[in-house]
Amino acid sequence: MAKKNYEALAEEIIEVMGGKENMTFFIHCLTRLRFNVKDKGLIDNEKLKNIKGVVGSQWQGDQFQIIIGQHVGDVYKIICQKAGFEIKEIIKEDDVPKKKLSISLIFDSISGCVTPLLPLLIGGGLIKALLLILLQFKLISVESSTYIVLSFTGDAAFYFLPVFLGATGAKKFGANIGYGMLLGATLIHPQFIEMVTKGTPLSIYNIPIHAASYASTIFPMILATFVLSYVEKYITKFTPQMLKSLVVPLFTLLIMLPLTLCVLAPMGSILGTYLSTGITWLYDTTGFLAVGVVCGVYVFLCMTGMHTALLPILFTMLATVGYEPITVIASMLYTINQGVVTLVVAAKTKDKDIKSEALTCTVTSFVAGISEPALFGFSLKNKKLLYCSMIGCFCGGIYAGLMKVYCFAVAGTVGFLGLPGFIGSDSMNLINMIIAIAISCIVTFVLGMKFGYQNKEEVKC
């Protein structure tokens, strides 16, 4: 799409959103424009569906999302220019909608803490995967200095999670990042770890501290930074200005230390353990069927944003047991199959514009691992295609479950480029994952060509 078309698109979006006066909050992610508005009734959703360049739209909580695709950044900038404001300048605290406690808000909070760490965790995971490859081909030995340095660097990405989450969690909830990082560092301090290992009783203000190792954990610091944000704000509010630099840091930490060590960290650790144990139990009990079912319904998790809540469980399992048997498999099969759906459309449509848009979505799903353009632009507008992809994912998941395919590292994408994450000591693990993908793609494509799409059912994006 040419730049002049972005400008026309931006003008139309501003109009259907009820004008710039109706916008109270405006950001964008990888594929979507995200709006909070004063009056939801001013949004002309029917007109929005007919705008060329808009793939789809949806409400997620109180936020209205417009799916643009890979050009979202260009459209976002032009909307800001045409609306005549910088986002940070026009938003006032009173204009931001009050968020009510909901499942969606909980998922958003968890995702907001973990998502900024994905590059770090991906990097650490891929370093460990690279070492496995080098060992397989005898290009490096475990005694070499290079192997040792790369190994503890890969481990550090997971071991120091409490510190990293102290920063991202504090930022997400509006607390001081330094306090969050210090609380995280306290949980993995060598002396604390040593005393826990030896079983030495510990207490603070005569309150017993639960003996546990918090290295590589996620939920303890999410809970701790959430509470930290309220404790810090409360102390800041009632402290005289001239004493804030002394009183706020001291009393914030004196209050947060017992809360974190005695209550929040143990709660988070138990929660993470039970969730990981639950996934393992489900897998051990129902085996391949669980993998197939999760793969088949994963599209609904993505539609509702619930898939982000699986990230802490995924990384907890990678850090504790070293592998994850369901989530990444489901995510890859779903994403790649959305590309197959649009490949079916491209193969059968006679409309050149639709064919071009569909092929773009296919490449985006296969290579970049971004499924939203295909999902909202095609699958949800033709339910037959959606069902075909679900059946394909179910079949691929059944095979992956039967062959006990595991993910050992998150490779940064859930398209085909994510396959290195399945490299393990057993070379058949990667091969079986490739076969699972092939099965799911073939089933989706054949069903889609036969039943899922007819030329008379042209889908306009």
List the catalytic residues.
29
Per DSSP, helices labelled H in 37-139 are: 45-49, 72-83, 87-90, 103-114, 118-136
CA–CA separation, 170 and 233 (whole Å): 12
Cα 285 to Cα 374: distance, rounded to the nearest angstrom? 34
- Sign for the pseudo-dihedral over CA of 284, 286, 291, 294: negative
Q: Which amino acid is at 443?
A: V
Torsion of CA 434, 438, 440, 446, to 10 degrees: 180
Pairing of strands 23-28, 56-60: unpaired
Contact 397, 293 (CB under 8 A): yes
Q: Which regions of 224-325 does DSSP assign to beta strands (E)? A: none
Spatial separation of the C-alpha atoms in residues 235 and 226, rounded to whole Å? 15
Q: Are 13 and 84 in contact (CB under 8 A)?
A: no
* Pairwise CA distance, residues 106 & 309, whole Å: 8
The one-letter code for the residue type at 94 is D
What are residue 37's DSSP bridge partners? 23
